[in-house]
Amino acid sequence: MKAALAPLQASIERVILDPAYRDALAVVKGARNGAVYGAKVRFPHALVMVFLFRAGTLRQKAELVWRATRTHARNLATFAAIYKGTCYVLKRYGPTPGKQGPYDNFLAGLLGGYLVFGQRSRRSGKVPSVNQQIVIYVFARVVLALARLAVKPGGHGLPLISDEGASARISHHSWPVFASLSWALVMHLFRHHPEELQPSLRGSMTYIYQQSDHWDSLRNFVWHNK
């Protein structure tokens, strides 16, 4: 059986190793990697969050984990395909064919972000919670990267705050300020406007900060929350 399949395997490998198809096949590989990464990241997270903080039968919880994992994997795969496909098209048919333009990545990300993560659910009219979490995660990393870039010396950062002395001082003191303000704001919002927080964050904070105020026996004081 293995010997019979050897010619087919060789033919497939000739195609996937042909430089003429490299850019197009990179789109396929990007989608594959997006799906695998999305499943690996979302499954353990959904498993823990659903079984800890969601009510329902075992089957209902398993379905929630499956849907969250499928959505995360599908969306990352779709975004990767759109992004890499757009970059390929712009590289091939752009102003300088065969060469990637300076803003191709931005335009490809803009299109992919809109088509994959910028849409609302047709059924509920709301933004899916998985998409919210992914976009918020990306946004937080972008803000941190831009903050570091703003004080980066060597002509990359903003005037005044990016010179050697100011950059070192700001970098040293900025994280404690950012961390303390972030926690101050999230605790204030949780106390006064909990409905505005993302559901999984709200659920974990309810568990830690509200449900810890209630018990009626040693059993639910130490071993069980309720």
Tens-place pLDDT, residues 52-86:
888 899 999 999 999 999 999 999 999 999 999 99
Here the tokens at position 65 are 């984990």
Domain assignment present for 90? yes
Place of tokens 């070192």: 168
- Note the pLDDT tens digit of each residue in 155-195: 667 776 767 777 778 877 888 898 899 999 999 999 999 99
Here the tokens at position 145 are 């990267």
**Interval 119-146 mean pLDDT:** 90
3-state secondary structure of 51: helix
Half-sphere exposure of residue 11: CA atoms within 13 angstroms, side-chain side? 5
Domain assignment present for 171? no
Whether 100 contacts 90, CB under 8 Å: yes
Domain assignment present for 49? yes
Question: What's the structural domain count of the chain?
Answer: 1
What percentage of residues in the chain have a pLDDT greater than 70? 96
**Residue 50 lies in domain:** 12-128
**Secondary structure letter of residue 120 according to DSSP:** P
Half-sphere exposure of residue 83: CA atoms within 13 angstroms, side-chain side? 20
The model's pTM is: 0.80
Helix (H) or strand (E) holding 124: none
